[in-house]
Amino acid sequence: MGVLNQLIEWLLGLFSSNQKPEDNTIIPEEVAVVSEEIQSIPSIEIVQEPSNEKIEEIEEVKPMNTDFLSGIHKMFLDSGQYIKEENAKFQIYLHHTAGNASGRNTISNWNTDSRGRIATCVTVSNKGASNSPDGEIVQAFSSKHWAYHLGLKQEHFDRFDLPYVNIDKFSIGIELCAWGPLTLKDGKFYNYVNRQVPEDEVCQLLKQFKGYTYYHKYSDAQIESVKNLLLYWSETYNIPLEYNEDIWDLTERAYKLEPGVYTHNSVRKDKTDVFPQPSLIEMLKSLS
């Protein structure tokens, strides 16, 4: 019965671990010797002691929806307008163009201006563009590559006693097509080039942001497109999406290349992009 007792102990250990042997599990040779004795063993009821630990419900993890990728309009810049060099990506920066509603026009202008290799990976069109639907993502180059989009120099890093790092090459930029700060004059809203912006495209902040109460609103479709991009790049490059309140002002985390989502305000005090539109903040928080 020595072998039989060993077999029983082995079976009890197997059941208590709550695992089944895989198809390729090696069974001890002693099992064959006592195969006849097993039939005479009374059935054993395994009783588990109650646990005081609370069992949490496990939500079904649904795969990310990538349907939006097929709707991206590819409008690649000429090779001399960006740097076709692959680098690790740690950060994503949100910008606005301070320009018209068309993401296609924005990239077309980048391709013909004399500023050099200044651009972002994508633009996102706003309401009112004649050649691009609201929320359309327009791609200028692969997210693996890069262009200058932050305008940083050593003097910006000096504020935190940090050495200069070319953050541009380790980050991805998103440009939301919007005019930025607006001025209210005689009941109408005007951008910095004195063009009127429709009232239904104006966001009024409860608290001024960088001296302005009114901004050109990011549309719901734009915010949804940004959400899709953030989720996609988070999974692609393992960039965390936790929301941090400090992204609306200079933050040392950004200069240290700490992974995450930032705004242009995070590294440039003279910028207003993007502004803290409540619906944009709500979306960013929903990703945390």
Domain boundaries, the chain: 2-38, 73-286
Structural contact between residues 177 and 97, judged by C-beta atoms closer than 8 angstroms: yes
Burial of 63 (0-12, 13-18, 19+ CB in 10 A): exposed
Tens digit of each residue's pLDDT (9 = 90 or more) over 218-259? 999 999 999 999 999 999 999 999 999 999 999 999 999 999
Give pLDDT tens digits for 141-154.
Answer: 999 999 999 999 99
Q: Please state which architecture CATH assigns to domain 73-286.
A: 3-Layer(aba) Sandwich (3.40)
Predicted confidence (pLDDT) per residue in 7-59, tens digit: 445 444 444 444 433 333 222 333 333 333 334 333 333 334 333 433 333 33
Q: How far is CA 18 from CA 11, 12, 48, 49, 92, in A?
A: 11, 10, 10, 13, 44
pLDDT score of 4 more than 60: no
Quickly list H helices, the chain: 2-16, 30-33, 35-38, 103-112, 154-158, 220-237, 252-255, 278-286
Q: What is the pLDDT of residues 117-164, one digit of tens each?
A: 999 999 999 999 999 999 999 999 999 999 999 999 999 999 999 999
Cα gap 6→10, rounded to integer Å: 6
Assign residue 237 a region (left: φ > 0; alpha: ψ between -120 and 50; beta: otherwise).
Answer: alpha
Amino acid occupying residue 123: T
pTM of the model: 0.79
Q: How many CA atoms lie within 13 A of 163 on its CB side?
A: 1
Q: How far apart are CA 120 and CA 149, in angstroms?
A: 6
Check if the beta carbon of residue 156 is closer than 8 Å to that of residue 121.
no
Q: What does the alpha-carbon distance between residue 132 and residue 106 come to, in Å, rounded to a whole number?
A: 11
Q: How far apart are CA 286 and CA 284, in angstroms?
A: 5
Looking at the chain, how many residues does it have?
A: 288
Q: Kindly give the pairing relationship between strand 171-176 and strand 137-139.
A: unpaired
Q: Which sign, positive or negative, has the C-alpha torsion 145, 170, 135, 231? A: positive
Q: Which of 117, 123, 119 is nearest to 101 (CA)?
A: 123
The side-by-side arrangement of strands in the sheet containing 202-209 is 196-197, 188-190, 181-185, 212-216, 202-209
Please give the share of the chain, as a percent, with pLDDT higher than 90.
77
Per-residue b/e over 23-58, b at no fewer than 16 CB within 10 Å? Answer: eeeeeeeeeeebeeeeeeeeeeeeeeeeeeeeeeee
Average model confidence (pLDDT) across the chain? 85
* pLDDT score for 65: 81
SS3 123: strand
pLDDT tens digits along 85-102: 999 999 999 999 999 999
Q: Write the CA distances from 241 to 183, 213, 219, integer angstroms.
A: 33, 28, 21
The pLDDT value recorded for residue 28 is 33
Query: For position 9, what pLDDT does the model report?
Result: 53
| Residues pairing with 55 in the sheet | none
pLDDT of residue 197: 98
| Residue 246 to residue 253: CA distance in whole angstroms | 9
